[in-house]
Amino acid sequence: MTRDGPFRRWPAEWERHDATWIAWPHHAPDWPGKFEAIPWVYAEIVRALHPHETVRILCQDDAASAEARRVLLAHSVVLERNAFHVVPTNRSWVRDSAPTGVLGPAGIEWIGWSFNAWAKYDNFDKDGQVRRVLSELTGRPLVKPERPDTGGPLVLEGGGIETDGAGGLLVTEEWLLSNDQVRNAGMTREAYEDAFREYLGIERTIWLGEGAVGDDTHGHVDDIARFVDRHTVVLAHEADPADENHRRTADNLRRLELAGRQWPGGLGVVTLPFPRPVVMEGERLPASYANFYIANGAVLVPTFNDPNDRVALHTLAELFPDREVVGIHSVDLVWGLGTLHCLTQQQPAE
């Protein structure tokens, strides 16, 4: 098959990482009334990751760097000095503001999507620089994708794309093709698939329908469906017909089953439950076990003080028998409208 540009492959998340990047939380309005608890949740995340891989932390300033060290030390976590980088950000959701690491002709490349803060906020100038900063800190080249239809900047976020590492991709129509099209107005399904092919090496895209109830990103896939190997997708599925997530997830299950019939080697679907609705001040939050993060030797799974925590952890432990599956309490964290996958970004190994 011929390509317009250089061949690239986006590795699956379970492939080896050189590092996990996070940004230490500092923007209190993301967690109104609960911010004091959030740095301690981050410390627990780093404590779970550190035995398995290198962790790199973007800190708002020197004071934030010192505070991160203090909180981590309270959890008996001591990172090397070069783990902390003073890099101002607007918010801490680096899955979306940071670039996506791929394997290109000369090794690791960062695919630096343009970022518009989910078309929600005006203040994202610092987040818009994260892609450049990671390129400089890692010494790896930055590629700035362009729309194949207009040549303008391509606006995407890492939480909206999911790969099997072998040319397969999951995305949702709600995220990219909904009527408002707040990212790339007028861009078609075919144009997106052309861009996925050029910048990520994608050959097969499964278009799911809608994301989870309460997801303010317009339907990111990382709250509903994830590859766990090249022939298996886990799907967050709501069994209660009275819950709005039931209709959405039943539709996504049908789409996956249909796509699986044409998938090279077949594609199986394993379902994860949702926890009971997590509501804060009348707002339904996007609490989902699908927002797990796969590290080198561990899988970090958000938990919600719910009986289905056990079901989700057991299901994922069976799917990842060679990794430690660790639950991270996320009831406070999800008040920021994201959890573990949203706040991490992996740097693939060379």
Handedness of CA 219, 223, 224, 230 (dihedral sign): positive
Let me know: does 231 contact 193? Beta carbons within 8 Å. Answer: no
Strands (E) across 81-178 are located at: 84-86, 100-104, 107-111, 142-143, 162-163, 168-172
Residue 339 to residue 301: CA distance in whole angstroms: 9
3-class DSSP assignment, residue 296: coil
Q: Is 59 a catalytic residue?
A: no
Which of the 8 DSSP states describes residue 324?
E
> Would you tell me how many other CB atoms lie within 10 Å of the CB of residue 117?
18
**Per annotation, catalytic residue among 77, 169, 233, 342:** 342
> Would you tell me how many other CB atoms lie within 10 Å of the CB of residue 139?
7
Instruction: State the catalytic residues.
Output: 342
